[in-house]
Amino acid sequence: QADIDISALALSPRRGGPKNLPILEYYIDDDDSEEMRRQKDKPRLVILGGGWGGVSLIKELDPDNYHVTVISPANYFLFTPMLPSATVGTLGLRSLVEPIRRIVHGIGGHFLRARAEDVDFSARLVEVSQVDCNGVEQRFYVPYDKLVIAVGSVTNPHGVKGLEHCHFLRDINDAREIRNKVIQNLELACLPTTTDEERKRLLSFVVCGGGPTGVEFAAELFDLLNEDLIQLFPRLLRNEISVHLIQSRDHILNTYDETLSKYAEDRFARDQVEVLTNSRVSEVRPDSIVFTQKDADGGIVTKELPMGFCLWSTGVSQNEFCRRLAKKLGSAQSNRRALETDTHLRLNGTPLGDVYAIGDCATVQNNVADHIVTFLRSLAWKHGSDPERLQLRFSDWRSVAEQVKRRFPQAVGHLRRLDKLFAEYDRDQSGTLDFGELRELLRQIDRKLTSLPATAQRAHQQGQYLARKFNKLARATPALRANDILDGDLDAAVYKAFEYKHLGSLAYIGNSAVFDLGKGWGLAGGLWAVYAWRSIYFAQSVSFRTRVMMAMDWAKRGLFGRDLMSY
Ligand code: FAD
């Protein structure tokens, strides 16, 4: 087969689609061999985004089943959990990235450095833009049989004025800019011509947002100031430098167990990182931050804090591309923060059911509770009882659950949780639950299953889930397709619904770390915890090359200190 290029990508002379643009096609040799026929039949899988979701999918996918094309404006995968360490030179920027081409090449796929602009769901075409060598934007279509949207998110501005004076921490370039700005402020503060007041402002570092990213950045910054800069900038007095963390809730790390957020707050208080809780930023000015703070009596006070550097890290929202798609899909998409999918991760409202959305750009909408309630109601009517007065005996639950499971395979997660709740309610399971209580329990479970965190952990699990399902779909026999499809739903026939498993959260808080293991379990500690935190991320790093580079960075930092040149 060496002389046959079976899957080269080429722009066909064909134009088409709603905008009459050129259409990118797989070139497949016109030879009539069995292999060629097999290649021609392979579905085209297009993945938008080369981040956590996209890469986990690629790594788990059986390369023989699909023609894969990955489209992303960034030609690297970024290992985000260690990005705060790169802002202060603890790790090098190149230690956190892996060329996406290398990953895609591993499965014989194609990579296009371009941006998805729109999707025509009926014609199965993604509209893509790319700036050519003359600086002119070119647009074309990429056809698909299956499309996966994994384009991540953007920082949530919360409607605050003046964010152009802030830095963000989402990408490798952001980390570079932050490092340069921190060092530039320190250099300026050292100049003999800088006044005392100006020096204080330059050395006032503010972080808006007390989630894991804001907290880890504040911790890394504190380490840098405390460990390296005091020696390198002897003219600067340590008490002239200040780090402030502004948080709208009453605790930092508020999604973690309360004892862990308290531990982090105490640690910051000891390290003189000022934590301003119950505080909302209303405006960012070129040299100060205006915020309101709730005082002990519930009154609101407006304050202004001089600043020389501000990081804005207050959660995520939808990017322009996803907003466009959500608008196009109309009432099927009612969430303003992310694209809604069903529990099989299929985008709600698409006509052909062949588009999936995963990671930060997506949220799973269940509505399974409503389906189960309607089903139970119909069962009750069938048996001549009034559903509103129905008393369901726990001992009968199993047979009801079996019927629900047959009707709604996507409800498995709900049923498992209900079983657990029943067991907690009533250990010998001889009591009863009325219909109203059951409905409320189901709704609670729905809400729990729907509000998944925007984390690498979730994007990774969803990417893996889709890859396993796609592998099964490709192997699904014609007999299965014909006979076993429930309600015409091939996805549900070949694979279970997606269920998120929370494996815990970690955060570095400055020469110590906290681990939230869920269900009230947590660990916090000093040096041992830092090494455990490093080891976990070291093991998860994307390639052997990045692991070696990370280990070398930590060794260099131990021997020579952090890299503090701005370039
Ligand atoms: P991303 O990884 O953001 O990837 C999106 C991809 O889509 C990128 O390749 C981008 O170039 C591409 N793209 C964007 N627009 C388009 C377009 N129009 N067309 C085509 N491609 C497009 N999570 C954790 O679980 N643990 C942590 O410790 C942790 N730390 C973090 C630290 C920082 C500083 C940040 C920023 C995030 C952190 N996260 C962490 C969150 C985690 O990084 C995200 O949840 C995860 O990256 C989401 O994966 P994703 O695939 O949805 O999006």
Task: Write the CATH number for 302.
Answer: 3.50.50.100
**H helical segments located in 110-236:** 172-190, 196-202, 212-224, 230-232
How many Å apart are CA 419 and CA 412, to the nearest integer? Answer: 11
User: 3-state class of 2 per DSSP?
Assistant: coil
pLDDT at 111 exceeding the cut of 90: yes
Residue 212 placed within a domain:
yes
Reported as a single tens digit per residue, the pLDDT across 444-472 is 776 665 667 889 999 999 999 999 999 99
Residue 281 placed within a domain:
yes
Assess whether the C-beta atom of 72 lies below 6 angstroms from ligand 1: yes
User: Same domain for 311 and 177?
Assistant: yes
* pLDDT confidence tier of residue 425, bands split at 50, 70 and 90: low
For residue 481, report the distance from its CA to the centre of ligand 1, in Å.
35
Structure tokens at 390: 């129905």
> What integer pLDDT is reported at residue 74 of this predicted model?
96
- Cβ of 296: how many Cβ atoms within 10 Å? 6
Residue 202 placed within a domain:
yes
For residue 154, report the distance from its CA to the centre of ligand 1, in Å.
9
Average pLDDT over residues 532-543: 88
pLDDT at 157 exceeding the cut of 70: yes
Per the prediction, the chain carries an average pLDDT of 85
Reported as a single tens digit per residue, the pLDDT across 233-283 is 876 767 788 999 999 988 899 888 888 889 999 989 888 899 999 999 999
Global ipTM? 0.99
Q: Which residues of 32-63 are buried (b: 16+ CB within 10 A; e: fewer)?
A: eeeebeebeebebbbbbbbbbbbbbbbebbee
Assess whether the C-beta atom of 85 lies below 6 angstroms from ligand 1: no
User: Same domain for 185 and 298?
Assistant: yes
Q: Which ligand 1 atom sits nearest the alpha carbon of residue 153?
A: 3
User: Same domain for 293 and 167?
Assistant: yes
Residue 150 placed within a domain:
no
What residue numbers bound the domain in which 187 lies?
A: 163-315
For residue 160, report the distance from its CA to the centre of ligand 1, in Å.
23
- State which of 434, 451, 468 marks the end of a domain: 451
Q: Say which residue the tokens 């503060």 belong to.
A: 189
Assess whether the C-beta atom of 53 lies below 6 angstroms from ligand 1: yes
Residue 51 placed within a domain:
no
pLDDT at 6 exceeding the cut of 50: no
User: Same domain for 297 and 395?
Assistant: no
Assess whether the C-beta atom of 360 lies below 6 angstroms from ligand 1: yes
* pLDDT confidence tier of residue 484, bands split at 50, 70 and 90: low
Pocket test for ligand 1, best of 129, 345, 455 (most atoms within 8 A of CB): 455
Pocket test for ligand 1, best of 360, 363, 508 (most atoms within 8 A of CB): 360
> What integer pLDDT is reported at residue 4 of this predicted model?
37
User: Same domain for 374 and 308?
Assistant: no
User: Same domain for 292 and 425?
Assistant: no
User: Same domain for 172 and 296?
Assistant: yes
How many Å apart are CA 311 and CA 464, to the nearest integer? Answer: 33
Instruction: Using CA atoms of 248, 252, 256, 258 in order, give the dihedral in degrees to the nearest 10.
Output: -100
pLDDT at 312 exceeding the cut of 90: yes
- State which of 391, 416, 451 marks the end of a domain: 451
Residue 426 placed within a domain:
yes
Residue 229 placed within a domain:
yes
- Asked whether the beta carbons of 537 and 460 are under 8 A apart, the reply is no
Question: Cα dist. 417→29, 219, 422, 424, 429 in Å?
Answer: 52, 38, 9, 11, 15
Beta strand 300-306 pairing with 288-294:
antiparallel
Number of domains comprising the chain: 2
How many Å apart are CA 185 and CA 564, to the nearest integer? Answer: 12
How many Å apart are CA 144 and CA 46, to the nearest integer? Answer: 6
User: Same domain for 391 and 261?
Assistant: no
User: 3-state class of 41 per DSSP?
Assistant: helix
Choose the weakest-confidence range: 171-175, 222-226, 404-408, 508-512: 404-408
User: Same domain for 302 and 422?
Assistant: no
pLDDT at 1 exceeding the cut of 50: no
Residue 221 placed within a domain:
yes
> What integer pLDDT is reported at residue 479 of this predicted model?
58
Average pLDDT over residues 121-128: 95
